[in-house]
Amino acid sequence: MNLEYSRGIDKGLILCLDCQKICQDNEQTCPRCSSKLGRRKANSLSRSWALTLAAMILYIPANVLHIMTVSKLGDGKPETIMSGIMTLINQNMLTIAGLVFVASILVPLLKLLILFWLLLNVQLRRLASDNQIKMYRLIIWIGRWSMLDIFIISLLAGLVQYGHLGTVTAGPAAYAFASVVVLTMWAAKSFDPRLLWDVSALENNKPSIKEPDYG
Amino acid sequence: MKNNGLTGLRLCRDCDLLVKIPSFENSPGWKQQAVCPRCGYCLEQHQPSSVLISLALVVTGLLLFLPANMLPVLSMEIMGNVRQSTVMVGALALHDEGLIVVAWLVIATAIVIPLLRLLILFYVLLAVITASMHRTAARMFRWYTHLGEWGMMEIYVLSVLISIIKLADMANVNIGYGLYCFVALMLVELIISIYLNPHALWNQLGKNHES
Ligand SMILES: [Zn+2]
Ligand SMILES: [Zn+2]
């Protein structure tokens, strides 16, 4: 039996992405969990492109506009994400500054670049490599952590309400930033990593395969 | 069971490779994995987990839910003025400032989705134990996985810790009992996600309505 080294799509089999059941490709819905079946995720490419580009555009106001205003004794000081980090550095809170920098600036940027690169790879029919699938898994895993700043703002805004003694209010960049987080998570979810490998199946009918590793 | 000779076969989720995986029955090691030879995706994990223990974990989580969300997470004091905040209060502060969608996002990811996932799991495990209602349970169990990445309790806990340090130079900040419950709830969710074997649950849900 030489079933091991072929793709499901060539054998008329579809994986149910919700419950991992192997279904026949003449079935419309999964017999076990009744979710919709498709050979690949529906409109994966156009959907991820649209979401990624929208997130890229919103990344700009997220970083340029004010994310919150901290006022002490009456005078308010609007902060952007970056100036908030600079304040932390000036107060010598380097660890937190680093954490916020990674979660709020680096991770969203990295996600956008990786999504863009993955989509470009599929579009240009570049062969799948280990790097691509590793990058895909990386953005799926780290994407959610960008919510950190939104949670911090909600906590500060809820706590620091002392009238003229001190208040924290959220700014418009919070909208843009939350949208970037949601859109990139959605884009990564819409992207179908199997498209990367489909390209390699076209170029080379026999993908090089090692013995399965059960370790 | 209509199996069409597909026993022991898996389709890789990330690269669509058809792989034959070994039976784990003879290998006693916990957390042994069958990995896709082409892309490294974990096709199946040997993970004998008991439905009753899972149910006990879910009930623990549900019991922790109310105190975690009703009791104050943080309290803060400036010149004798004490303010306490729960998760909800923070979200409502955003709501009052006009950031309505962002407020709902916080409520959804930190409160509603974690609760929803526990309730779904409770229903699914009950369905498996009582061997009934499998079709509804299967529909609901799909949402459990879909909602997985949108429940963000651990991120919320980290944000609380950062807020404490950020506020420390402004005022006296104290940790409330709510935070302890919240952290415990987060740990329960973490243990469930490690302990639960969705493959086995799906098999049990599938068994009955096929026969
Ligand atoms: Zn299914
Ligand atoms: Zn694979």
Question: A154, B93: Cβ pair inside 8 Å?
Answer: yes
Q: Which residue of B4, B38, B147 is the best one to mutate when testing the A interface, meaning the one whose CB has the most A CBs within 10 A?
A: B38
Higher pLDDT, residue B188 or A84? B188
d(CA B62, CA B185): 8
Partner residue opposite A212 with nearest CB, options B19, B92, B158: B19
Strand order in the sheet with A68-72: A75-79, A68-72, A166-170
Q: What are A78-109's pLDDT values in tens digits? A: 889 999 899 889 988 898 899 999 999 999 99
Question: B94, A214: Cβ pair inside 8 Å?
Answer: no
Q: Is the pLDDT of residue A212 over 50?
A: no
Q: Domains in chain B, ordered, with CATH?
A: 1-48 (no CATH), 49-210 (1.20.140)
d(CA A79, CA A177): 14
Give the pairing of strands A75-79 and A166-170: unpaired
Placement of tokens 């000081």 in the chain: A77
* Closest among A66, A67, A71, A97 to B165, alpha carbons compared: A97
Residues at Cβ < 5 Å from ligand 2 ion: B 12, 14-15, 17, 36, 38-39, 41
| Residue B24, Ramachandran bin (φ over 0: left; ψ between -120 and 50: alpha; else beta) | alpha
Q: Is the pLDDT of residue A209 over 50?
A: no
Report ipTM (2 d.p.).
Answer: 0.87
Placement of tokens 């003449």 in the chain: A26
Phi, psi of B196 (to 5 degrees): -65, 140
Lowest mean pLDDT among A188-192, B112-116, B204-208: B204-208
The chain-wide mean pLDDT, for chain A, equals 85
d(CA B13, CA B22): 18
For residue A9, how far is its CA from the centre of ligand 2 (angstroms)?
13
For residue B197, how far is its CA from the centre of ligand 2 (angstroms)?
20
Higher pLDDT, residue A38 or A129? A38
pLDDT band, very low/low/confident/very high, at B99 (cuts 50, 70, 90): confident
Q: Is the pLDDT of residue A214 over 50?
A: no
Phi, psi of B27 (to 5 degrees): -105, 115
Q: What are B134-171's pLDDT values in tens digits? A: 888 988 999 998 898 899 999 999 999 998 888 887 77
pLDDT of residue A109: 94
Q: Is the pLDDT of residue A211 over 60?
A: no
Ligand nearest the Cα of residue A20 is: 1
Q: How many CA atoms lie less than 13 Å away from B198 in the CB half-sphere? A: 22
Q: Is the pLDDT of residue A156 over 60?
A: yes
Placement of tokens 């309290």 in the chain: B75
Phi, psi of A169 (to 5 degrees): -120, 150
- Sheet strands (E) in chain A: 13-15, 22-24, 68-72, 75-79, 166-170
pLDDT of residue B207: 75
Chain centre to alpha carbon of residue B85:
24
- What share of chain A has pLDDT > 70, as a percent? 89
The chain-wide mean pLDDT, for chain B, equals 86
pLDDT band, very low/low/confident/very high, at B177 (cuts 50, 70, 90): very high
For residue A16, how far is its CA from the centre of ligand 1 (angstroms)?
5
Give the residue extent of every domain in chain A. Answer: 1-39, 41-204
Neighbours of B7 (CB within 10 A): 9
Q: What are B22-57's pLDDT values in tens digits? A: 776 666 666 678 888 888 888 887 777 888 999 999
Give helix A107-123 / helix A130-142 axis angle, nearest 10°. Answer: 140
For residue B7, how far is its CA from the centre of ligand 1 (angstroms)?
16
**H or E stretch including B83?**
strand B81-85
Nearest Cα residue in chain B from A96: B162
All residues of chain A having their beta carbon less than 8 Å from the beta carbon of residue B154 are none
Q: Is the pLDDT of residue A205 over 70?
A: no
- Burial B73-93, CB ≥16 within 10 A → b, else e: bbbbeeeeeebbbbbbbbbbb
Q: How many CA atoms lie less than 13 Å away from A165 in the CB half-sphere? A: 14
For residue B15, how far is its CA from the centre of ligand 2 (angstroms)?
4
Partner residue opposite B99 with nearest CB, options A6, A149, A174: A174
- The mean pLDDT of A172-191, rounded to a whole number, is 94
Residues 50-79 of B with CB under 8 A from A: 73-74, 76, 78-79
Question: A165, B37: Cβ pair inside 8 Å?
Answer: no
B81 vs A: CB within 8 A: yes
Nearest chain B Cα distance for residue A119, angstroms: 15
What are the tokens at A145?
Answer: 């952590």
Report helix, strand and coil shares of chain B as percent, to nearest 5. Answer: 60, 15, 25
B170 vs A: CB within 8 A: yes
3-state secondary structure of A118: helix
* Closest among A27, A40, A18 to B2, alpha carbons compared: A27
Lowest mean pLDDT among A172-176, B65-69, B73-77: B73-77
B101 vs A: CB within 8 A: yes
d(CA B11, CA B18): 5
**H or E stretch including B35?**
strand B32-35
d(CA B92, CA B94): 5
Pick the CATH number of A41-204 from 1.20.140, 1.10.3470, 3.40.50, 1.25.10: 1.20.140
Question: A161, B138: Cβ pair inside 8 Å?
Answer: no
